[in-house]
Amino acid sequence: MNIKESFLSNKKRAVTAIILLSVVFIIATIDNIFLTWAFLGLAYLFAFYESMELFRNKNNALFVYAVAIWLTALIYPNPDDIGYIVIIIALSAMVYKKEVNLPLLAPFAYPTISMLFLYTLYLDFGMMSLVWLVVIVALTDTGAYIIGKSIGKTPFSKTSPNKTWEGVLGGVATATVFGTLFGLSSVELSTSFIISLLVSVSSVYGDLFESYLKREAGVKDSGTLFPGHGGMLDRIDGYLFASVIMVILLRGLL
């Protein structure tokens, strides 16, 4: 299947992707801290709700806490700390009552911590770092899909039977090359290469982790928010691992 046939056979998916990329482009162009916070917050709340469903949590109070967390992120100087603080406080209260419920805490680890890292990436390293992340993850996903559909034969993991080694390696290679070139506007060649490669690889496993959660929950998609794409988690799963890795690498290598 060539690129044109792949596009035509997945028209709904392609149109949704174009609309999403257009929205991201507009937000990146405006580059306003409140708008970026609001956009990421909206994505977070949808993802949090979907994670509650995947983890089979029916306690609606959790969603109220998620809103409070994101509101706090707007005024707290280090948003990536908040998720850990919430989990420590919750665990302390649970241990005190001798009622530890780890599944109840799961949405505060996934996707909460990753989304807070995503917002921290913007605050600490600017909009171009977010755009760089989008370039890497999007090319990893797109490259893996096209190359996997074209020549993929070797299964990558039992967790996601549709993935192939050919697709994964092709996606990572594509993202690493173009991600490295994009990153040269901000960092040295070696640093850009390391970040692009490791962020790309981490996005593959971010996608794989969400596939695992869906299989455990017995669902095909995390939701129905985006036609042809499923839910919010289906769209941002790669970013949830990649954002953490990118913040850590930028802090360590710059």
Gap between the Cα atoms of 183 and 93, Å rounded: 44
Q: Which domain holds residue 92?
A: 3-253
| Cβ atoms < 10 Å from Cβ of 21 | 12
Tally of domains in the chain: 1
Contact 229, 235 (CB under 8 A): yes
Tens of pLDDT, residues 158-185: 999 889 999 999 999 999 999 999 999 9
For the cut 60, the answer to whether the pLDDT of residue 150 exceeds it is: yes
Q: What percentage of the chain has pLDDT greater than the value 70? A: 94
Q: What are phi and psi of 42, to 5 degrees?
A: -65, -45
HSE at residue 249, side-chain half, CA atoms within 13 A, is: 22
Is the entire prediction scored with pTM above 0.95?
no
What is the average pLDDT score of the chain? 92
pLDDT, position 9: 47
**Average pLDDT over every residue of 98-105:** 92
Give residue 3's pLDDT band: very low, low, confident or very high (50, 70, 90).
Answer: low
pLDDT, position 196: 98
Reference 7, options 22, 20, 18; nearest CA is: 18
Bridge partner list, 230: 226
For the cut 60, the answer to whether the pLDDT of residue 102 exceeds it is: yes
Q: What are phi and psi of 90, to 5 degrees?
A: -65, -45
Gap between the Cα atoms of 83 and 113, Å rounded: 5
Lowest mean pLDDT among 58-62, 65-69, 141-145, 247-251: 58-62
Tens of pLDDT, residues 219-253: 988 988 877 678 999 999 999 999 999 999 999 99
| Cβ atoms < 10 Å from Cβ of 118 | 26
